[in-house]
Amino acid sequence: MDYPATAATLDSLPNGLTLILDPDPAAPVVSSQLWVETGSLHEGSLLGSGISHFLEHMVFKGGGRFGADELATTVQGAGGHWNAYTTFDRTVYYIDGPASGLETFLEVQAAMIFAPLIPEEEFEKEKDVIRREIDMGLDDPDDVASRLMFSTAFTADPRRHPVIGHRGLFDAITYADLTGYHRRRYTPDRCCLCISGDFDAAEVREKIEALFGGFVRGSGAEPVVPEDGVQLGPRRGRATFAVPASRVTLAWKIPPLGHPDVPAYELAAAVLGRGRSARLYRRLREERELALEISAWSWSQAGRDGIFAVSAEAEPEKRDELIAAILAELEELPSSAIDDELAKARRQIAASQFKTLTSASGRASDLASNWHEARDLDFTRRYLAALNATTAADVRRAVGKLTEDQLTISILDPEEAPAPAALKPASRHRPEPECITLPNGATLALLPDPRVPILTAQVAVRAGLVSETEATSGLNTLLASTLPQGTIRHSAAELAGRLESLGATLGAATGNNALLVQLSGLSPDVPVLLPLLAEVLAEPAFHGDSIEREKASQLASLRESLEDPLSTAFRLARHHLFKGQGYGLPALGTEESLANLNRLALSAHHSRHFQGRNLVIALAGDFDISEAKDLLAEGIGRLPEGSPWLPPAATTASDFEIEAYLPKKQAVLALAYPGCSALAPERFALRMIQEWCSDMAGPLFTRIREDLGLAYQVGATQFHGHDTGLFGFYMATDPSQVELAQAELSSEIAKIANNGIPEEAFERVRATVLSSLALGMQAPASIARLAAIDVLFGLPVTHHREAAGIFQKLSPGDVKSAAGALLEKAPVTVRVLPRE
């Protein structure tokens, strides 16, 4: 299966703006992405200040004929989902939505990117917002560990600085700095506009010329971007943080994209650390139990050094032994047989690349990235060909260059830890979904889609958080992590090896109402994949050593979540809202409950819930219906019929306030209300309320974040239960402003309770929700998940297709009534504050 050559066109306007047009009528959606070739590398005298990221924020404050609110409401009214991100070498502005909104999306992008207002009165307000974002990054161990690695590996290269900038340098940015940076860097000749989806190329080209053709080409030299010299010896960086386990990265600089060694390093990373059957995972986590988590990765850019690295988490006392073991594995690889592992790696990478072609957004990102890195729209195809042509000898030779002199080790330790010693053409016709029931009561939901040779099987089992007690808290999470760790017939290594040799993935997760198992792979492998899925479901081994390893990893995640302000706020809110039972239990469990979970508990839970009448298997993607029915009937038929498991009734509390304290810089506020059930008619109206409260054009964002600058993060969330769910509001703010922020949030909630969504905003919100539905039904994995959960709750397999019609019938009065009923009670309120 060769990666298909693109049918997209590459062109440019007279002012230098590059155009990539990729018409595809498979789904009535589009993705419009404008890539600006500027990022934190290009900040010149303002290097390290984060001005590129700051500018990304400020262009959302209006442009052209649009004010700030008009930008958001216009995009929302057209059903668009928009955002932006800044990296070292690019700033990308994207809008995904219905094909009918494309002209609107293009007008908005032209206005905000090339003719932004950048209002001076918003300058300091947005600075405060980003200061909160900087503080959040400093509270995030993943962010801190990443900063440590880059700042240790690079000495002159600007990538040693965080993209968001250093606080002191950021504070020094002036309004003139910001507007001048926009004038110099945001020019059409430095930009690429890439559009993928359902549109007419000739018509869209005319619209682009009209909207973008009048902007002037840039002038002046590019900034000088320093590069590191040759590394002459190992580099080490260490810091401590409030984390339960040590985070270790061993990194080596590798050549830029385009060098013949780059494919070899990507394959080496896959052989060493991609998946459960990879060498490092199998040997150092499963067999020697030195690592809690471990992976390897390779990252390359055009024109600049890349990074090959191994990243791991370990208990502090095993950290040094793990580092030595990783180095020993790297030293051994050049002299070992790796042909079978390379075949598996190529399959994994091909499967991952094919998945990008299942959505308009993925296709646009792939094409724009190809232009950005190589000025070749078929670069992905050529790169995959280079991977396939890379031999075992090439990989051995490349890994042999990873010497100690070129090594960078970065370690983020717990505070008390001692320092270390030393893609196919799309089909326009999709067969209709169908459901069948097997003799043992299991339901098969079949949703064929032959556009891309990818298949996803999603299993939903009636269980989840509500099936636990205080004593068994965390059981479903442990079961989900242990389930793929081997069967009665295959060890964990054998199972992982068989799956990953096919480029397939299998994983399990738990939610509030169900335990989910997902299998994804390439369509030709269905006869192998579906029997393996059935084997995992029906015959898990629950080996004691696997249980203990997963318990240790779950315990580390639990301890980390206890240090996260937002996680802590909602953990406490759920606990008090549901009186410590059912949905009020922590999904990761507690230290006490985890200590008592064992093979007997897992086996008993599996036996009770993994029964035919408790289980739905949804299959989406490219597969033969008759073949799939036969394979699943044979494999899943081994499960007993059993009896449907019925969850206990939930009881809720309200009007409760609690404060908690953590050694963090920001304060977090959470307000939790009893929500609705998964089948409640009002769930559609509450989805509208959630969107209204989470959108950049909604009341919480515009009032609390934009007008008052009180919060970087503010929004709403919800989940549906069997009988009662949760609807919550949250915000992160400066501790000194928490009282005002809480008052303002409560005031906005009261307005929503009394008024619902204003009529002038109602259609915009509806358009955004409808767009979310369309965007969420592109990939087989999403469709399978939606169908499995719907059918588990007794809804038709086509319910996800019918939801749009239900939202179309909602009126402002329906939403107002649902909001009033939801918010009539006093909430459970949690404030997480910095510890003095």
> Residue 637 in contact with residue 440, Cβ under 8 Å?
yes
Q: Estimate the share of the chain in helix, then strand, then coil, as percent rounded to the nearest 5.
A: 50, 20, 30
Distance CA 480, CA 64 (A): 51
Q: Which two tokens stand for residue 375?
A: 């000025």
Domains of the chain: residue spans and CATH: 9-212 (3.30.830.10), 235-359+366-414 (3.30.830.10), 430-836 (3.30.830.10)
**pLDDT value of residue 423:** 29
- The type of residue at 113 is I
Task: Please list, in sequence order, all residues whose beta carbon lies within 8 angstroms of the beta carbon of residue 830, skipping any fewer than 6 positions away.
Answer: 569, 570, 572, 573, 576, 657, 658, 659, 660, 669, 670, 671, 672
Distance CA 617, CA 636 (A): 9
Q: How confident is the model at residue 221 (pLDDT cuts 50, 70, 90)?
A: confident
- The type of residue at 414 is P
pLDDT digits (tens, 9 = 90+) for 38-89: 999 999 999 999 999 999 999 999 999 998 889 999 999 999 999 999 999 9
**pLDDT value of residue 429:** 56
Phi and psi angles of residue 216, each rounded to the nearest 5 degrees, phi first:
-90, 140
The strand ranges marked E within 74-113 are 81-86, 91-98
Tokens 């990308």 belong to which residue? 92
Parallel, antiparallel or unpaired: strands 191-197 and 18-23: parallel
Phi and psi angles of residue 506, each rounded to the nearest 5 degrees, phi first:
-135, 130
**pLDDT value of residue 697:** 86
Tokens 């939790």 belong to which residue? 672
Parallel, antiparallel or unpaired: strands 615-621 and 62-63: unpaired
Q: What is the pTM of this model?
A: 0.90
Distance CA 346, CA 358 (A): 20
**pLDDT value of residue 560:** 95
**pLDDT value of residue 427:** 41
pLDDT digits (tens, 9 = 90+) for 410-420: 999 999 888 88
Phi and psi angles of residue 806, each rounded to the nearest 5 degrees, phi first:
-65, -45
> Residue 345 in contact with residue 3, Cβ under 8 Å?
no
Phi and psi angles of residue 639, each rounded to the nearest 5 degrees, phi first:
-75, 145
Q: What percent of the chain has pLDDT over 70?
A: 99
Q: What percent of the chain has pLDDT over 90?
A: 90
Task: Say whether pLDDT at 432 is over 70.
Answer: yes
> Residue 175 in contact with residue 117, Cβ under 8 Å?
no
If you average pLDDT over every residue of the chain, what do you get?
94
pLDDT digits (tens, 9 = 90+) for 643-678: 999 999 999 998 889 999 999 989 999 999 999 999
CA dihedral 791→796→801→803, nearest 10 degrees, is -90
Distance CA 157, CA 414 (A): 29
> Residue 644 in contact with residue 614, Cβ under 8 Å?
yes
